[in-house]
Amino acid sequence: MAKIKSLEDLKKLKDEVQAKIKLREKGDNPENLIQIKVSMATCGIASGAKDTMNYLIEELDHQGIDALVTQTGCMGFCYAEPTIELNMPCKEPVIYGFVDKTKAQEIIDKHIKLNELVDGIIPVNYKTIDE
């Protein structure tokens, strides 16, 4: 039987990864990073936000795109779950609704790679004077 991975093994892997990270650290800057927030409250989870999030993480890693995928609370678009907020560097954030795996793939292929907007954007066009 193969040995079960433990925290000890994790420490070994850490050293490997650390060496790699140092190499490209200079180019890394949070403002240049693509950020995706997946809405994960009851409404999102019930509509499959977890699958969407896992798919985004795996696909972006697979394609070698550096992006930070995090979860966030309910954005108030419960009718359009799963919703994601896509933050491209130096651009206004864009919110997409009904993001299943197919839609997620389309967003990666078109929006993230080619910078073309995809159908399914929820407009956030009202801003108060205070903002």
Partner 1 sequence: MNELALHILDLAQNSIRAKAKLVHIKLTEKPADDEYLIEISDDGEGMSEEQVAKANDPFFTSRTTRKVGLGLPLIQQNAEATAGNFQLSSEKNTGTHLKVKFGFHHIDRPILGDMTSTLLILATNEQQTDFLYTHQTPKGDFQLDTREVKKSLGDIPLSNPQIRKFIMDMIQENLEQIQISD
Q: Does 24 bind partner 1 (CB under 8 A)?
A: no
Token output for 6: 């433990």
The closest alpha carbon to 104, from 84, 124, 126, belongs to 84
The b/e string for 65-98 (b: 16+ C-beta within 10 A; e otherwise) is: eebebeeeeebebeebbbbbbbbbeeeeebbbbb
Least distance (Å) from partner 1 to the CB of residue 7? 5
Candidate list 36, 69, 95, 112; residue touching partner 1; CB under 8 A: 69
Pick the piece of the chain touching partner 1 (CB under 8 A) from 13-21, 92-100, 105-113, 119-127.
13-21
Q: Does 18 bind partner 1 (CB under 8 A)?
A: yes
Q: Does 63 bind partner 1 (CB under 8 A)?
A: no
Least distance (Å) from partner 1 to the CB of residue 88? 18
